[in-house]
């Protein structure tokens, strides 16, 4: 018996700067998870992951991450993805410089 599919987003790290990035419905990469394509179909998720894997000049380590649909778009369901949405773990870099 196979597990029931849970909604996903495609995520990776940007090849040159290492930032967490998410794949949008229009084949762009964004640094904001809420702008990512919310995928609720297993076949579509696999297609999108294959597309992400073909972007080796932009991304590294693409994978499907569990997501839930929030008020502003996809949101993380696991602490790892929550952590990745916040940027580097040290201040004075990336998204945290604004804090």
Determine, yes or no, domain membership for 99: no
**How would residue 9 be classed by pLDDT, with cut points 50, 70 and 90?**
very high
* Range(s) of the domain holding residue 59: 8-89
- Distance (Å, whole) CA 87 – CA 89: 6
Task: Provide the domain count of the chain.
Answer: 1
Determine, yes or no, domain membership for 36: yes
Determine, yes or no, domain membership for 95: no
Which value, in Å, is the radius of gyration of the alpha carbons in the chain? 13
Contact between 89 and 95 under an 8 Å Cβ cutoff? The reply is no
Determine, yes or no, domain membership for 2: no
What tens digit of pLDDT does each residue of 49-76 get? 999 999 999 999 999 999 999 999 999 9
Is the model's pLDDT at 79 over the cut of 70?
A: yes
């Amino acid at each position: 018996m196979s597990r029931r599919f849970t909604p996903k987003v495609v995520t990776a790290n940007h090849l040159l700067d290492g930032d967490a990035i998410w794949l949008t419905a229009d084949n762009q990469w964004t640094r904001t998870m809420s702008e990512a394509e919310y995928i609720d179909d297993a076949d579509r998720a696999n297609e999108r992951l294959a597309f992400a894997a073909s972007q080796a000049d932009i991304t590294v380590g693409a994978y499907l991450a569990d997501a839930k649909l929030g008020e502003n778009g996809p949101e993380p369901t696991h602490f790892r993805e929550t952590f990745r949405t916040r940027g580097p773990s040290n201040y004075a870099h990336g998204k945290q410089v604004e804090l």
